Amino acid sequence: MIPSLHNGITALKSLTQGLQVLGNNIANVNSLGYKASRANYSDNFYLHLNDAESGADGEPSNNIQQHGTGVHVSSVSSDFNQGTVEVTGLDLDLAIQGEALPNAGGFFELADPVTGELFYTRAGAFEATNQGFVVTRDQYRYQLQGLDNALTVAVADTESLVARRVEEDGKVNLVVHDKVQKKDLVKSVGQIKIVNFLSPQYLRRVGNGFYSNGRAGQNVAGILDNFVPATGSNGKIRQYALELSNVDLTNEFASMISHQRSFQAGSRVVTTSDMILSEAVNLKR
């Protein structure tokens, strides 16, 4: 009965990892740009006591014995489908409208201003610093990248800002009031960069809605060479909006109930095997 104990324990261990993934999804149901994860289960290696073999007369043996050794979590995959887009009214709240496009249209590229390390996110909650850099609205203050380095929305001393406009193709225009000419002008200050990947599953989650494409010099997910929004497989930029989490609570709760029942079944295998082993030990008394 030792193998059955091992099988039951592997079920408990794997389901615990699966519940951890589900719990993380449910905890981040309101996190901006969060993408749900899924634990994928697979059976372990098998003990082959007797395999099908061809005999002298060409007939295969029918005494086949292949005993499984339990289950394990083979991988944890990410769901990059489009999340719900919510209108906020803030001019530097940006969402990528990708819908059915691959990877839902790509990611914003961010740079750590101190180390230069690059990160990628779907959480488009940005703000402008007093130097004019567009940065994430959190403690990290990563700089949003345009097609030509960090995106800035600074205005001259002789100008006052009236409005900021971001087009679907990522072009950023400023409506400013020129104090010298005493009239409003439209200035183009750059274009937002969108990054898409061949294998987004290889992206590493680093928390706060950010992803990494590996260490410096690495390109583990395969960056595509098109960085212009609304072209190719890149999504459109939608201003005054944020993308919410794509977690489906109904599916998560249904999966959690299924995991709970499977965990109970696995624990029953362990307790039943333990009872039979105890009876076997008592036979010698």
The per-residue DSSP string of the chain comes to: -HHHHHHHHHHHHHHHHHHHHHHHHHHTTTSTT---EEEEEEE--EEEEE---B-TTSPBP---EEEE--EEEEEEEE--PPPPEEE---TTBEEEE-TTSGGGG-EEEEE-TTT--EEEES--BEEE-TT-BEEESSSS-PEEEETTEE-B----TTEEEEEEEE-TT-EEEEEEEETTTTEEEEEEEEEB-EE-BS-GGGPEEEETTEEE-SSTT--TT-B-S--STTSTTPPEEEETEEE-----HHHHHHHHHHHHHHHHHHHHHHHHHHHHHHHHHHTT-
Phi-psi region of 85 (alpha: psi -120 to 50; beta: other; left: phi over 0): beta
Residue 62 has pLDDT above 60, yes or no: yes
The pLDDT score that the predictor gives to residue 61 is 64
Token pair in block for residue 83:
């999340």
Give mean pLDDT, residues 60-69: 76
pTM: 0.88
Residues listed for the chain: 285
pLDDT at position 52, please?
64
Residues with Cβ within 8 Å of 135's Cβ and at least 6 positions away in sequence, in order, are 126, 127, 128, 129, 141, 142, 143, 144
Distance CA 285, CA 283 (A): 6
Give residue 5's pLDDT band: very low, low, confident or very high (50, 70, 90): confident
Q: What is the pLDDT of residues 91-141, one digit of tens each?
A: 999 999 998 888 899 999 999 999 999 999 999 999 999 999 999 999 999
Residue 57: predicted pLDDT:
67
